[in-house]
Structure 1
Amino acid sequence: MKLKLVILATLFFQVSIAQFTNTDVVAKIKTVTIDDVISVVATATNTTEVHKSLQYTISVFRTDVDNNISKTNQEGRFTLEANENKELSRGSISVDESDKIVLLLLIYEEDKIIGKDRLAFNEKNNQEPKKAEEDISSDDGIELKGIVIEETKTKPGRDFYEFFYASYTLNQINGNKVVGVYEKLSFGRSTIIQVKIEDNVIHEFIGKPDLEYLEQMSKIAIRKVYKYFKDLKKQKNDIFQY
């Protein structure tokens, strides 16, 4: 009986989290492909009767035939009136049929992701955007794999992100939740660097302008992130088997 209550509580928690994603605010990426150019429009829609003050980040991940990954970001703040739909960003991307391209739109309210959309091109030599089968999750219909976002403020923060992201890619962790590297001000001129998955702080430390120290912190953070995803997968398997 106790096991049943734990499982029900876990499922209820997952459903509760899902209610905050693409519910009050819906993120949407619209694309049109002409020849070798993808035209991209990112939009947000407020489905509530309440004024919203929000932030967005739209990222483009490009992976070439040698598995080298490059990333470009655009971010900004915006507001939405009740039931308003707004265009956030418009641009174009050149496409090489050998490159995999992933577009990711995230919308934040007070540092929490409340809207997200993802499109991929050339994942399987197919230039049409595709929601792959493995990208469908049981909560909100979208599962983001292998995505790491950065919100740092200083050079040590950016250096740590580079170490962490290189190791994350090299180890092919490919987690099914967004991993964030954040930096916030602390006492004096120091900062605190955090690695978070959703609202869970996986690892945090005081930022220092020391590359060896930052590299060591990235190794510790990677081990903790790997364990988090491993435990999460085991938990889902246990629930499924039950």
Structure 2
Amino acid sequence: MALFFFLTAQSQNKDLPDVGIIPKIVVKAIGVNTDIQGIIKNDSNLFKTLSSELIIISNMGAKNASKAEQKDNFSIAPDEVKIVATKNINVADTDNIIVLFLIYEDEKLIARDRKELRRQKNDPNVSDGLEIKGLVVENVRSKVGKDFYDYFYQQFTLKNPESDQLVKVEEQLGIGIGTRIQIKVQEDLVFESFARPNEEQLVNLANSAVARVLQYFKQKERQKQLLRQF
């Protein structure tokens, strides 16, 4: 039986002090297999030593309810983005999933994120697995391409884009001048540049690419609003 899920998110930091730590739960779904990642951005100017707790509760309130926990310690530099927790789950027999991502400093809770995944049947607009906004896929061939994709993906998901359009990161290998990176939204080319094996250059390139994609989303949304007026 095909399973269909929709995903909801809630802001969970209103009652916590702003310490410049931004947690983000990212869900990647392929059929009934789902990767859940906990990503941290250090938006402060301080080096931090922190701990995280990723909690996944399945079928809460049912007889077959289950709970999985993963705890990790990590350090993070100013302006750094880091994946600190990863968990793979199977959602074949799951009615709902609650994911909590908690960040601690000196055993004190300083930031958190929360997401819910619920089963939604018979929706023709949803394909098997999880319907997730901000979906990014890649077709890269080299380490440079993979590094660029990782930097782009981390920054893109932290921006929490509302668009449901598919973003594709593609690579065309070059000779002598580096590798060519292309980013398409659906089939529209919105960003293209050469990339070289230099971390600073790749990070800056990824940030520019994210800004270009978000600008494209805004343009498309303005066009939709104009069409609604006529």
TM-score by length of 1: 0.48
Larger strand proportion of the pair = 2
Identity %: 26
- In structure 2, the partner of 1:30 is 2
Structure 2, unpaired ranges of 5+: 5-28, 39-52, 56-82, 101-113
Residue 155, structure 1, aligned to residue 143, structure 2? yes
Residue by residue over 1:82-131, the C-alpha shift from the partner in whole angstroms, topping out at 9 and shown as x without a partner, is: xxxxxxxxx9458783229xxxxxxxxxxxxxxxxxxxxx964x6x4227
> Distance between the aligned counterparts of 1:99 and 1:173, measured in 2?
19
Letter in 2 for 1:165: Y
1:66 is displaced (CA, Å) by 6.6
> Distance between the aligned counterparts of 1:31 and 1:99, measured in 2?
18
- In structure 2, the partner of 1:204 is 192
Q: CA RMSD in A?
A: 4.1
Question: Is the alpha carbon distance of 1:156 and 1:145 closer, same or farther for their aligned partners in structure 2, counting shifts above 3 Å?
Answer: same
Conserved in 2, the CA contact under 8 Å of 1:147 and 1:174?
A: no
- In structure 1, the partner of 2:36 is 62
1:201 is displaced (CA, Å) by 1.3
Question: Is the alpha carbon distance of 1:167 and 1:60 closer, same or farther for their aligned partners in structure 2, counting shifts above 3 Å?
Answer: same
1:186 is displaced (CA, Å) by 2.5
1:153 is displaced (CA, Å) by 0.9
Letter in 1 for 2:36: R
Q: Determine which structure has greater relative contact order: mean sequence separation of CA pairs < 8 Å that are 6+ residues apart, divided by chain length.
A: 2
SS in 1 for 2:164: coil
- 1:17-166 → structure 2 map (5 Å cutoff): 30-31=2-3, 60-62=34-36, 92-93=90-91, 97-99=97-99, 124=116, 128-130=118-120, 141-142=125-126, 145-166=133-154
TM-score by length of 2: 0.50
Letter in 2 for 1:156: V
> Distance between the aligned counterparts of 1:221 and 1:210, measured in 2?
16
SS in 2 for 1:145: coil
Structure 1, unpaired ranges of 5+: 1-28, 33-39, 43-57, 73-90, 101-121
1:61 is displaced (CA, Å) by 4.3
Larger helix proportion of the pair = 1
Residue by residue over 1:124-160, the C-alpha shift from the partner in whole angstroms, topping out at 9 and shown as x without a partner, is: 4x6x4227xxxx9xxx835862101111111111111
Residue 213, structure 1, aligned to residue 197, structure 2? no
- What is the number of residues matched between the two proteins? 145
